[in-house]
Amino acid sequence: MTELLPACLRLLLLLLLATVVCDVVHALLHAAQHTQVRVFRALASLHQEHHEFLDRALRFHDSRLARNLVRHQLPELGMRVAVVVIIGWLGSVDAVVVAAGVLLCVLDLAFVVALRGRDLFHRAQRAVPAPSSGIFVDGSYHSLHHAFPDHFLAAHIQILDRVLGRLLPLRDRSVVVVGASAYATDLARACSAAHARVTQIDVEQLSEALLEQADVVVLGTGAGSRGPSSYETLLLRAQRAHRRRLLPLEVWTVGTNAAWAARQHLLVDDRTVLRTLKRGSVLGATTTLALLRRGLRSV
Ligand SMILES: [Zn+2]
Ligand SMILES: [Zn+2]
């Protein structure tokens, strides 16, 4: 067992490095879609086949199953095997450990093929739960990659997305900012600059219709403890209005108090990403958004 342990650890490290390198290739393939260089666009189109198989509305297209296998999954296997072998060679890793890494890549593909492309990360869903707040990728996280192909790029561990700030898609999304403080206004402006559709209103104007179409709700009026304008009431209203939407809801709360801090985790449901901006006004709106883009849920 003690002899096996170092080999297992070396294999784990090899696979960890390989998955980060493969994430970089994945990001480059998405970036290559927008280039003028034909050969890069051709490479990008291979990966695009995977996104055609499971589209941005998270609908499967079984007629594209074979194309997904031939044009995306097999080239991806070739790339993953090459990355494992090259890292193994550069790191002077023993051949048996490299062979085990290659075998795991092949078995992973065999598993996906056996499930006809519907593995743990690719499932038909009517309501995607909020992704986990940890560093590892889960099924919801990868569903969000299909919904927002330039974001949530990591396959297993979120290192690249946290470095690049790809955890908060805002372009063309609806952001409702409740409150008129200077910080709320700065946040609204920063979201507009990120090409979100922003509505800034007073709490009395907040309607269910507005909440129903909101992707992000920013509560900037002060937590309160009870009553129609308390964060508790507004969070519950936002979650109720969002229940028929496909993707998770984002709720950001500005400021806090003891009652809200104690109760917020009891109130938030599994379809909501709740972010608390306690020191946001000190940091400023631009820094706040930069941190949220890197996955922070408490700022
Ligand atoms: Zn996928
Ligand atoms: Zn992709």
CA of 262 to the centre of ligand 2 (A): 39
Q: How far is CA 233 from the centre of its chain?
A: 27
CA of 280 to the centre of ligand 1 (A): 34
Q: What does the pLDDT read at residue 167?
A: 97
pTM of the model: 0.93
Q: Residue 48: nearest ligand to its CA?
A: 2
Q: Categorise residue 298: left if φ over 0, alpha if ψ from -120 to 50, beta otherwise.
A: beta
Residue 5 has pLDDT above 70, yes or no: no
CA of 176 to the centre of ligand 2 (A): 29
What value does the mean pLDDT of the chain take?
95
Model confidence pLDDT, tens digit, residues 132-155: 999 999 999 999 999 999 999 999
Nearest alpha-carbon partner for 139 in 151, 155, 159: 155
Model confidence pLDDT, tens digit, residues 184-230: 999 999 999 999 999 999 999 999 999 999 999 999 998 887 888 89
Q: What band does 2 get if pLDDT is binned at 50, 70 and 90?
A: very low
CA of 24 to the centre of ligand 2 (A): 11
DSSP 74-118: HHHHHHHHHHHHHHHHHTT--HHHHHHHHHHHHHHHHHHHHTTT-
How many other CB atoms are there within 10 angstroms of residue 126's CB atom? 8
Q: Residue 33: nearest ligand to its CA?
A: 2
Q: Residue 53: nearest ligand to its CA?
A: 1
Residue 1 has pLDDT above 50, yes or no: no
Any idea which fold 174-293 has? Rossmann fold (3.40.50)
The domain limits of the chain are 4-164, 174-293
Model confidence pLDDT, tens digit, residues 31-50: 999 899 999 999 999 999 99
